A = this chain, B = another copy of it.
Amino acid sequence: MSTSNKSAATVIARAAKAAFEASQLIASSERVQALHELRNELASAKEDILAANRRDLEAAQQEVNAGHMSSSLLKRLDLNKGDKWESMLQGVIDVANLPDPTGIVTYASELDDDLELYRVSCPIGVLLVIFEARPEVVVNIAALAIKSGNAAILKGGKESNETSQLLSKAIQSALSKTSIPSTYIQAIQTRAEVSALLELDQYIDLVIPRGSNSLVRNIQNSTRIPVMGHADGLCSVFLDETADLDKAVRVVLDSKTDYPAACNAAETLIVHEKVLSTVWPAVAKALLDADVHLLCDSPTISALQSLSPAPAKLTSHVRTSTLDSYTTEHLSLTLSVIALPSLSDAIRFINSHSSHHTDCIVTEDPAAASAFCRGVDSAGTFVNASTRFADGFRFGFGTEVGISTGRIHARGPVGLEGLVTYKYMLRSKGEKGHIVGEFGTGDGQKRYKHTNIEAKTVPFLE
């Protein structure tokens, strides 16, 4: 780490923390106003932003032509595709209209006469958000940070540099029309800055990486700051012995093929041995018809080979699996398949092979559903429903910060709630203030009351 990178990063991180602290005394209505200003700034700067985006796209096209970039990455750069621009603007307003996640009392207790304790939600502090390619994420994340009261430092992919710079300019302009400090949202450009920032745990409170497995893993391995997100999305579907055939076909097909590159797509199918010759062949045929490649263990491949007539694409699309198949996130039309003799074997297999993201059972047996949901140690345990439902918007959160496979703080699809923590406020209204020395078990000493207080907000906050 060069000294200049480190000192530049320290300046940025300190400014972010100072902006966060200063913002705590600003009414949350100003944050909502900032979001409306942001939408307007973006609308006014549309021509310039889309021109910058075209320059990014042209540069990216040359990278694709030279074989240095994938065409799918190129597509994600385009801010003018379909309704992406309008969605981005609407997204800012949607976030503005969500309920304020801060200032909510989640525990309140009268410890003694005139001594009131409130646990109240509040922002976390300074977020460092690192993402790839899609430039609209700058706006999306900035909106979430502003709404939740967190300062943020954003690092986008270098491919979208020109676009991101103008988006950041619009964010700055919007903030300048409010009393929120302009350093509340800062954009950085280089990986060296990221590396330096990842060391500054005294200023940065949470890192949110959104991007490839390797991006997330690298970040997790190089910082003491808590990281929210997921590296792998190794989801599985288990066909229980009582699985309904139609449900099995529909749920497996949707989980695998609805959007194979998503983290909530299924990568592994577990077949109960008792349905190898009943449910499995129909599921396999549907998968093969949908052009899915299957990596099968010996029992599941045999079950297909013994069919007459043999399923189409059996020779072209079905291969023998290896041990690695069951820990591989294919992110494509490939599915690993294994047969197991029981529900409890399936639960153990999932707990030791899945990435604890989302796992599904197809079953008609309520006891099996219950055991699966309790026994599978994942952020999502689903019954007869596609793994693809694991998503903040589908869950009804209004927005999604990301999906976390950690067990600490936020787990699964994370909405605005994942961007707040809480603090305890204790107020004495007593004539002499309150001291602990007066409480105890002895004669003449006070006892704690611990009487529940019904309150949604803290009454003494202005």
A313 close to chain B: CB less than 8 A: no
A267 to B428, CA, bound (A): 21
Q: Are A388 and B247 in contact (CB under 8 A)?
A: no
**Contact call B433/A250, Cβ cutoff below 8 A:** yes
A432 is an interface residue with CB less than 8 A from chain B: yes
A109 within 8 A of B: yes
CB distance from A88 to the nearest CB of B (A): 17
Further pairs besides A25-B371, A382-B425, A382-B428: 19, Cβ < 8 Å? A21-B348, A21-B375, A24-B374, A24-B377, A25-B375, A109-B395, A111-B396, A115-B385, A206-B407, A220-B224, A226-B408, A247-B432, A247-B433, A251-B434, A255-B435, A371-B462, A383-B426, A385-B435, A408-B409
Which of B244, B381, B435 is A251 in contact with, Cβ under 8 Å? B435
Interface size on A, residues (CB 8 A): 85
Q: Mark A385-423, 1 if CB is under 8 A from B, else 0.
A: 110111000111000000000111101110000000111
Shortest Cβ distance from residue A427 to the other chain B in the assembled complex, whole angstroms: 4
A338 to chain B, nearest CB (A): 19
Q: Are B426 and A389 in contact (CB under 8 A)?
A: yes
**Once the chains bind, are A423 and B378 in contact (CB under 8 Å)?**
yes
What residue of chain B has the Cβ atom nearest to residue A430's Cβ?
B384
- Interfacial chain B residues near A413, Cβ < 8 Å: 424
A462-B370 in contact given A407-B205, A434-B384 (Cβ < 8 Å) = yes
A396 to chain B, nearest CB (A): 4
A382 to B111, CA, bound (A): 13
A135 in contact (CB, < 8 A): no
Quick check: is A379 within 8 A (CB to CB) of the other chain? yes
For A122-147 the 0/1 string (1 means CB < 8 A from B) is 00110000000000000000000000
Bound Cα distance from A430 to B461, whole angstroms: 47
- Complex contacts, A369 vs chain B, CB 8 Å: 427, 460
**Alpha-carbon distance between A125 and B405 when the two chains are bound, in angstroms:** 13
In the complex, whether A362 has a CB less than 8 A from a CB of chain B is yes
Say how many copies of this protein the assembly contains.
Answer: 2
What separation, in Å, do the CA atoms of A221 and B224 have in the docked complex?
Answer: 8
Chain B residues with CB under 8 A of A247: 428, 432-433
**Residues of chain B within 8 A of A386, CB atoms compared:** 433-437
Given A117-B395, A406-B226, CB of A21 within 8 Å of CB of B425: no
| Contact partners of A226 in chain B: CB under 8 A | 226, 406, 408
| Docked complex: A244-287 residues within 8 A CB-CB of B | 244, 246-247, 250-251, 253-255, 258
Q: Answer whether residue A366 sits at the interface, using C-beta atoms and an 8 A cutoff.
A: yes
A174, chain B: closest CB distance, angstroms: 23
- Residues of A at the B interface (CB closer than 8 Å) are 20-21, 24-25, 109, 111, 115, 117, 119, 124-125, 205-206, 220-221, 224, 226, 228, 244, 246-247, 250-251, 253-255, 258, 347-348, 351, 362, 366-367, 369-371, 373-375, 377-386, 388-390, 394-396, 406-409, 411-413, 421-430, 432-437, 439, 448, 450, 458, 460-462
Decide if A396 touches B448 in the complex (CB within 8 Å).
yes
| A374, B28: Cα distance in complex, Å | 12
CA distance A351 to B18 in the complex (A): 9
Task: Name which residue of chain B comes closest to A361, CB basis.
Answer: B427
- Find out whether the CB atom of B385 lies under 8 angstroms from the CB atom of A433: yes
Which of B20, B254, B380, B423 is the one whose CB lies under 8 Å from A437?
Answer: B254
In Å, the complex CA distance between A450 and B392 comes to 12
- Is the CB–CB distance between B409 and A424 below 8 Å? no
Say whether A408 contacts B111, CB under 8 Å: no
Known pairs A423-B378, A426-B380; A437 contacts B258 (CB<8 A): yes
Q: Sample 17 A-B pairs with CB under 8 A, ordered by A number.
A: A21-B347, A111-B389, A119-B412, A125-B377, A206-B407, A362-B433, A370-B461, A373-B427, A373-B458, A380-B426, A381-B426, A384-B430, A385-B426, A386-B433, A386-B436, A394-B448, A396-B448
